[in-house]
């Protein structure tokens, strides 16, 4: 076992996969000599060389297109976006080419798109988004959102080995704030398997990414009041571990759907629909959604703090559901 931060776990997973498979290479802005905007790729240029660590122009549409072509030809590119927000400039390449290649003519596109996402770091409206939903909605893409350092390493390795395109959203706030013991050797966390981050009996909090820690913080407070919250960390939005979600719902009969993305069109709506269709008779109270308000992420620190869901929101919702 070795202690690693969330960021170090991602780096270690990529490094090991590059050592294991010579077809894996990286491309993105400032990932070489500079080591990446957040230093995830620090030291890789010196170790792997410029043929496998490729600095690109400021042109996401261009280098994502190049990565798609390389993947179709048998390589395994990992694309780093400096911020996940910039993924929109390459939306056409991802949804109309990478996502549909297998369906249209049987071509696999084994590539990973890494996107540092989320708020809490005062990055403002152009550097703090959670842009997962357009890609959740696109058949042919997998969408991964790790919360722990253990999962950050295991899921990036699984994503790199996957035969189809994977979007890997890593929360910036977690990079250096999360540290835990993880296995020193090779391991993979399979895509599409949720985990129970905390066992409970009274209410299910179903969430992903940085909001897992908000849910766990709330669960600690609720436990002192005799309310045991079960926290489900989805890990992957596509493929979704629907069985884990439904099993928790049937166990607790009360549900909070929590995410950092804005409310309208957020993943909580998809979860609510599935639960209503498949576990309605298990519910003893209405489904409750907690998400960010439908506006851009504020730059101002006090406004951003008010914008993001927090433990107090979860505690109040759980109390309300318990008393229903």
Q: Indicate which residue of 122, 127, 137, 259 is catalytic.
A: 127
Compute the mean pLDDT over every residue in the chain, rounded to the nearest whole number.
97
User: β-pairing, 179-182 with 2-5?
Assistant: antiparallel
> 2-182 and 195-323: same fold?
yes
Instruction: For residue range 190-235, list pLDDT tens digits in order.
Output: 999 999 999 999 999 999 999 999 999 999 999 999 999 999 999 9
Architecture of domain 195-323: 3-Layer(aba) Sandwich (3.40)
Q: Using CA atoms, how far apart are residues 27 and 50, in angstroms rounded to an integer?
A: 10
Tokens linked to 116: 């540092």
For domain 2-182, the question of CATH label 3.65.10.10 is answered with no
Task: Indicate if 259 belongs to the active site.
Answer: no
Starting at the edge strand found earlier in the chain, the sheet holding 166-171 runs 53-55, 24-28, 76-80, 112-117, 166-171, 142-144, 236-238
Residue 185 has a pLDDT of 86
Rounded distance, CA 235 to CA 218, Å? 19
Q: What residues does each domain of the chain span?
A: 2-182, 195-323
pLDDT digits (tens, 9 = 90+) for 151-204: 999 999 999 999 999 999 999 999 999 999 999 889 999 999 999 999 999 999
pLDDT level of residue 1 (50, 70, 90 thresholds): confident
Between the two ends of the chain, the Cα-to-Cα distance in Å is 45
pLDDT at 182: 95
The tens digit of pLDDT for each residue in 99-151 reads 999 999 999 999 999 999 999 999 999 999 999 999 999 999 999 999 999 99
């Amino acid at each position: 076992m070795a202690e690693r931060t969330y960021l170090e776990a991602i780096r270690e997973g990529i490094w090991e996969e590059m050592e294991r498979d010579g077809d894996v290479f990286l491309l993105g802005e400032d990932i070489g000599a500079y080591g990446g905007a957040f230093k995830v790729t620090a030291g890789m240029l010196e170790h792997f060389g410029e043929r496998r660590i490729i600095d690109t122009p400021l042109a996401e549409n261009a280098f994502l297109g190049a990565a798609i072509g390389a993947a179709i030809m048998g390589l395994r590119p990992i694309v780093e976006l400096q911020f996940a927000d910039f993924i929109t400039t390459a939306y056409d390449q991802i949804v109309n080419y990478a996502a549909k290649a297998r369906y249209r003519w049987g071509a696999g596109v084994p590539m990973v798109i890494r996107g540092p996402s989320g708020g809490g770091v005062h990055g403002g409206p152009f550097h703090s988004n959670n842009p997962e939903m357009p890609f959740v909605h696109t058949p042919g893409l997998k969408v991964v959102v790790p919360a722990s350092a253990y999962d950050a390493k295991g899921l990036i390795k699984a994503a790199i080995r996957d035969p189809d395109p994977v979007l890997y959203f890593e929360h910036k706030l977690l990079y250096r704030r999360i540290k835990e013991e993880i296995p020193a050797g090779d391991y993979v966390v399979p895509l599409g398997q949720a985990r129970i981050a905390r066992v409970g009996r009274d209410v299910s909090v179903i969430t992903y990414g940085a909001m897992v820690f908000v849910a766990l913080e709330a669960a600690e407070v609720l436990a002192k009041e005799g309310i045991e919250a079960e926290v489900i960390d989805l890990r992957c939005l596509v493929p979704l571990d629907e069985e884990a979600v439904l099993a928790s719902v049937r166990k607790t009969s009360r549900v909070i759907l929590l995410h950092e993305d804005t409310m309208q069109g957020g993943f909580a709506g998809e979860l609510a629909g599935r639960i209503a269709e498949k576990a309605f008779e298990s519910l003893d109270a209405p489904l409750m959604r907690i998400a960010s308000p439908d506006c851009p992420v504020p730059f101002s620190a006090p406004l951003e703090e008010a914008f993001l869901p927090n433990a107090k929101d979860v505690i109040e919702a759980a109390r309300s559901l318990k008393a229903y």
